[in-house]
Amino acid sequence: MSPLIQDLIEKAVVVLVVFGGLLGVFSLCTLIERRVLAFMQFRLGPNRTGPQGLFQPVADGIKLFFKEEFIPAGANKLLFVLAPAVAVVTAFMSTAIVSYGGALTVPALSFLPEWLQGRVIELQIADLDVGILYLFALSSLGVYGVVMAGWASNNKYALVGGLRSSAQMFSYELALGLSWVPVILVTNSFRLPEIVAGQAGWFWNWNCFALFPAFLVYVVAGTAEANRTPFDLPEAETELVAGFHTEYSSMKFALLQMAEYVNMITISALGANMFLGGANTGLPFLPPTAAFGLVGFLAFAAKVAGFLFFFFWLRGTLPRFRYDQLMHFGWKVLVPVAACFILVVAGVVAALA
């Protein structure tokens, strides 16, 4: 088999595994979030469907597939149907450059074809030279799904929700983008594997310590970018019913939810890669390549799980911002802080060089 075909097969399998894995993590997230919230509020949460309620996401999915879908009167049908698709496709596309914990080495087992034995499989869909720039572009595109959903619904709540949501995502995306610049300044690379490699060794080499203000801005702006509490203004149910997805039902609603969760997973994975050392365990005697690369993957997965739990925890703890507070905080605190910190880091880097 020619090397090109081998590469193609490898990449196709990686894409399918990542896609399926994200779907799996998404459905687990919906369950775990409800269980965690229930635990924090002294409730039980969904625990009847299967062991510990493990089949609840499956039941929800089947239910949503068979739900009758509505398209409100006066809605722009094309945009209304297209919006969830745009949201979910952009959400999945931005996962392409995330490094899912280093590389796996296929063990040299005799029943495997020869070209597969000892092959190093990068756990990343595409290692682009423009990596972070690609992400920056796609995270801007994510707004389209929300705006289209809000506009197409012909519902005042949806329209206001969509507008608010887009303004919020714009504002916090700027802070998010600026919080990445110090990391690039330190590692001089747009490629996530290189950024991860730059944080090897002891855990105090992780960017979250040296670049703590950027990490802080990243977490806050990332929470807002994923529309999570305390920044879930778009769906502030006490004022806007459900914001831009008021009129959505059945699987189209599920796709919008899925886009939100996939965005949250991407933000977590990216935070783990850029600030928490990605596949690095933080202990030099336990390199991420140990045990066929499984150590690196597990270290990465633990960090992502920590991020996700943090998001659930926030939702269980904090009340929602008021809209004016939200915009003030984004523009008058986060953006200036992120911009000033870039100059500080640049100064330090130039002085040390």
Partner 1 sequence: MLPVYVPILILAVVAIGFAAFTIVASHLLGQPRPTDAKSAVYECGMPAIGTARERFPIKFYLVCMIFILLDVDAAFLYPWALIYPQLGWFGFVEMLVFMTLLGGGFAYAWKVGALDW
Site for partner 1 in 317-336 (CB under 8 A): 323-324, 327-328, 331-332, 335
| Residue 122 φ then ψ, to 5° | -70, 130
Query: Which part of the chain contacts partner 1 (CB under 8 A), choosing from 8-16, 28-36, 42-50, 200-208?
Result: 8-16
**Using the rule CB under 8 A, is 159 a contact of partner 1?**
yes
Question: Which pair of tokens denotes residue 51?
Answer: 């062991």
Using CB under 8 A as the binding rule, the residues of this chain from 247 to 266 that contact partner 1 are: 247, 250-252, 254-255
String of DSSP letters for 94-105: TTTT---SSEEE
Helices (H), 275-334: 294-317, 323-328
Query: Which pair of structure tokens corresponds to residue 136?
Result: 């920056």
Q: How far is the CB of 314 from partner 1 (least distance, A)?
A: 23
Query: Is 103 in contact with 293 (CB distance < 8 Å)?
Result: yes
**Of 276-315, which residues contact partner 1 (CB under 8 A)?**
none
CA distance 285 to 124: 25
Site residues for partner 1, 64-103, by CB under 8 A, read: 64-74, 81, 84-85, 88-89, 92-93, 95-96
* Residue 59 in contact with partner 1, rule: CB under 8 A: no
Q: Is the Cβ of residue 19 or residue 202 nearer to partner 1 in the bound state?
A: 19
DSSP state for residue 119 in the 8-state scheme? -
H/E stretch holding 108 reads: none
* Site track 166-205 with partner 1 (rule: CB under 8 A), x = hit: xx--xx-xx--xx-xxx-xx--xxx---------------
Would you count residue 2 as binding partner 1 (CB under 8 A)? Answer: no
Q: Please give the single-letter amino acid code of residue 168.
A: Q
Query: Applying CB under 8 A, does 210 fall inside the site for partner 1?
Result: no
Q: Distances from the Cα of 323 to the Cαs of 96, 139, 238, in angstroms?
A: 32, 22, 13
- From candidates 49, 52, 117, 140, binder to partner 1 by CB under 8 A: 140
